[in-house]
């Protein structure tokens, strides 16, 4: 039985160079739209926030869908998962990375560029479309999510989604020796999310309480898997789908 309120144990920060060296053996699972799911809620955050090229739907690999349903089934009655982002177009990844880097540079104009890059990568993965090292969200295996109650009220998680401060580290509230009531609430809500997602096979990005992976290189590196099973994926426009279907008839 999953203990949803077990403490979140220390986890290493990702070594992106090491993760991107993990081989990919693509399994071919299709992307699936999540918006019509009844087992969890979907709120496409970047589209709602007006980020250029963000889609009005969240897509993920088909096994991700099933594992999200499993994680949702472990939560207490009345608590629901809220999917904020999943498959992400490269243009959105580039926009997020460049925007955060520029804001950090403006905030600290004398900072070393290498340090700005390191801090940017804490909260936004390096943009990449390379077949051997795609950005996690480009694979359809990375999920950003939070929790809400049965009426749709978002639970207190101790920081905003995509907040670029130390409070966003998953274990931030675990490290407070004597948390106050609000800090205990955020800690326990993070524990619920972390333990449910871990029990469903996901790994967590240590600097982002909302980010979980399954099947991509970050997941494989974190859990010591011999290879990832998801490479770059694409939500195809209707025209390309028709072409693929007609090509299939010729074979």
What is the percent of the chain where pLDDT is above 70? 97
Residue 251 reports pLDDT greater than 80: no
Q: What is the pLDDT of residues 45-91, one digit of tens each?
A: 999 999 999 999 999 999 999 999 999 999 999 999 999 999 999 88
As a whole number, the mean pLDDT across the chain is: 93
Phi-psi region of 202 (alpha: psi -120 to 50; beta: other; left: phi over 0): beta
**What is the domain partition of the chain in residue ranges?**
16-250
Q: What is the pLDDT of residues 63-76, one digit of tens each?
A: 999 999 999 999 99
Q: Write out the binding residues.
A: 137, 144, 211
Provide DSSP, the chain.
---TTSPPPP-PPP-HHHHTTS-B----PPEEE-TT-SSSEE--HHHHTT-TT--SS-EEEHHHHHHHHHHHHHSPTTEEEEEEE-S--HHHHHHHHHHHHHHHHHHSTTS-HHHHHHHHHHHSPPP---TTS--GGGGT-EEEEEEEETTSPBPP-SS-TT--SGGGSTTGGGG-SS--HHHHHHHHHHHHHHHHHHHTT-EE-TT-TTEEESSSHHHHHHHT-SSBS--------HHHHHHHHHHHHH-
Q: Which residues pair with 143 in a beta bridge?
A: 212
Q: Write out the binding residues for Zn(2+).
A: 137, 144, 211
- Residue 208 catalytic? yes
| Per-residue confidence (pLDDT) for residue 26, from 0 to 100 | 98
Residue where the block lists tokens 């998801």: 230
Give me the count of residues in the chain.
251
Q: What is the pLDDT of residues 172-191, one digit of tens each?
A: 999 999 999 999 999 999 99
To the nearest 10 degrees (0 to 180), the angle between helices 113-123 and 90-107 is: 130
| Active-site residue identified among 57, 163, 181, 208 | 208
**Confidence category of residue 5, pLDDT binned at 50, 70, 90:** very high
Q: What is the pLDDT of residues 122-156, one digit of tens each?
A: 888 878 888 999 999 999 999 999 999 999 999 99
| Per-residue confidence (pLDDT) for residue 72, from 0 to 100 | 98
| Per-residue confidence (pLDDT) for residue 240, from 0 to 100 | 66
Which CATH architecture is the domain 16-250 placed in?
A: 2-Layer Sandwich (3.30)
**Confidence category of residue 238, pLDDT binned at 50, 70, 90:** low
Assess contact for 40 and 69: CB atoms under 8 A.
yes
Of residues 171 and 96, more confidently modeled:
171
């Amino acid at each position: 039985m999953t203990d949803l309120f077990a403490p979140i144990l220390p986890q290493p920060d990702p070594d992106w160079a090491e993760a991107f060296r993990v081989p990919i053996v693509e399994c071919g699972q299709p992307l699936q739209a999540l918006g019509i799911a009844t087992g969890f809620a979907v709120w496409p955050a970047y589209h709602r926030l007006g980020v250029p090229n963000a889609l009005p739907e969240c897509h993920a690999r088909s096994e991700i869908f099933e594992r999200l349903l499993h994680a949702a089934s472990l939560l207490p009655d009345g608590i629901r998962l809220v999917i904020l982002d999943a498959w992400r177009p490269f243009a959105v990844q580039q926009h997020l990375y460049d925007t955060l880097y520029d804001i950090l540079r403006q905030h600290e104009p004398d900072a070393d560029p290498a340090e700005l890059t390191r801090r940017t990568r804490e909260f936004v993965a390096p943009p990449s479309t390379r077949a051997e090292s795609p950005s996690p969200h480009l694979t359809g295996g990375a999920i950003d999510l939070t929790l809400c109650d049965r009426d749709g009220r978002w639970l207190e998680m101790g920081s905003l989604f995509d907040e670029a401060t130390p409070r966003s580290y998953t274990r931030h509230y675990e490290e407070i020796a004597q948390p106050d009531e609000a800090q205990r609430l955020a800690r326990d809500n993070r524990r619920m999310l972390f333990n449910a997602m871990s029990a469903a096979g996901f790994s967590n990005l240590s600097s982002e309480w909302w980010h979980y992976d399954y099947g991509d290189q970050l997941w494989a590196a974190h859990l010591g898997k011999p290879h990832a099973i998801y490479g770059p994926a694409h939500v195809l426009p209707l025209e390309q789908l028709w072409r693929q279907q007609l090509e299939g008839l010729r074979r």
